Amino acid sequence: MAVVDCELEKELKQFDETKAGVKGLVDAGVTKLPRMFRHPPESLPSPNQNNGVDSNLQVPVIDLKDVDICERRKEIINDLRKAAEEWGFFQIVNHGIPYAVMDKVLKGVRSFHELPQEAKEEWYSRDFKKKVNFFSNGELKVSTPADWRDTLSCKVLEDECNFEAIPEVCREEIREYMKYIVQVQEKLSKLFSEALGLDSDYLENLRCFKSRSLACHYYPVCPEPHLTLGGTRHSDLGFLTLLLQDSGGLQVLHDNVWIDVPPVERALLTNLADMLQIVTNGKFKSVEHRVLMPATLEPRTSIACFVGTDDLQKPYGPIKELISEDNPAIYKEVLFGEYMNRYKL
């Protein structure tokens, strides 16, 4: 067993030293899935149970059209509250981001990942304190199978100066996209506050939605997709994630059943993260999700915008207005920075 572990450790080290990521394996013509990417059968969809998926259920779609009209706003808030309590995931349409901007940023990110290896090497780093870095898998460990995915991470995008560190091939596309994301997160901050029965500026005053970072994922075509995952089962750690995706593979765990979340045209996928579950004392859900590797001839691209606080030392616990004798706090306060350090983007 020790020999096997040493061999796997060597494979991981060699893979990381190429600085080419998963795309480098594909470019090299790999036809068999390397052992480091092989997931145990219990982590993979079951071929005998329709992949463990209930095809009759779908993630809610919330239309934000006319959100500032009083009666319509009430309907939207009710829909959002129900989705947050029951699903923790929902698609939003008429969110204000032009389709052309969404399309260009997806193409820009794909263009980066499809650059020649030597053109990407300067961004390859496992120093996750860098504002921008390119890598494959947050951690490469013998004990944990790797995911079939490369990532360009862009952090602290509330600071305009940090855009200059983003690769030129997708810099302006990301800059333009983030202008609209700011508007969406501000809109959602108010709607979530009102859905909790609080003043519309409550979550804004808590600084819950102040920081923005991107994980620009690329899932190359896989030679044996049934043996690996693009994203291991997990929940997100911050307050909110806004996801743009160009094809299927994402699944969300709902009532212990995996539900496919295919892209909806012009929609932005919204999922609640752990810190929002904590501050709402469990009223709103942060749920687990994963990314399958479909048998396809096209790579998948997704852009996750992680929304959180800009104060890493700020403690967060259940909002006092949501706590009562009948509804006591079920979570302790936690420092945002300490909680986020559990995961490398």
Q: Residues 91-137: pLDDT tens digits?
A: 999 999 999 999 999 999 999 999 999 999 999 999 999 999 999 99
Q: Closest by alpha carbon to 302, among 344, 224, 249?
A: 249
- CATH code for the domain in which residue 205 is found: 2.60.120.330
Distance CA 29, CA 18 (A): 15
In a domain, 197, yes or no: yes
Residue 209 lies in a domain: yes
Q: Please, what are the averages of pLDDT over each run of 10 residues along the chain (345 residues)? A: 74 96 97 97 77 73 97 98 98 98 98 97 94 95 96 92 95 98 97 98 95 96 97 95 96 96 96 97 98 94 96 93 96 88 59
pLDDT at 337: 83
Angle between helices 70-86 and 168-195 (to 10 degrees): 100
| Residue 55, number of CB atoms within 10 A of its CB | 9
Q: Give the gyration radius of the chain's Cα atoms.
A: 20
Assess if residue 50 is contained within a domain. Answer: no
Q: Is 10 part of a structural domain of the chain?
A: no
d(C-alpha 301, C-alpha 104), whole Å: 12
Question: Tokens representing 325?
Answer: 């004798």
| Residue 280 DSSP SS3 | coil
pLDDT of 341 reads 77
Asked if residue 9 is part of any domain, the answer here is: no
Q: How far apart are CA 167 and CA 112, in angstroms?
A: 8
Q: Would residue 290 count as lying in a domain? A: yes
User: Residue 320 — φ and ψ, nearest 5°?
Assistant: -65, -30
Q: Which residue has the tokens 């929940």?
A: 235
| Total number of domains constituting the chain | 1
How much is the pLDDT for 46? 77
pLDDT of 48 reads 56
Residues 6+ apart with CB under 8 A from 285: 84, 85, 86, 87, 88, 272, 277
- Give CA–CA dist 320/311, Å, rounded: 20
Domain-located, residue 324? yes
C-beta separation of 125 from 344 below 8 A: no
Task: Identify whether 7 is part of a domain.
Answer: no
pLDDT digits (tens, 9 = 90+) for 37-69: 999 999 999 765 554 555 678 999 999 999 999
Structural domain boundaries, residue 81: 61-343
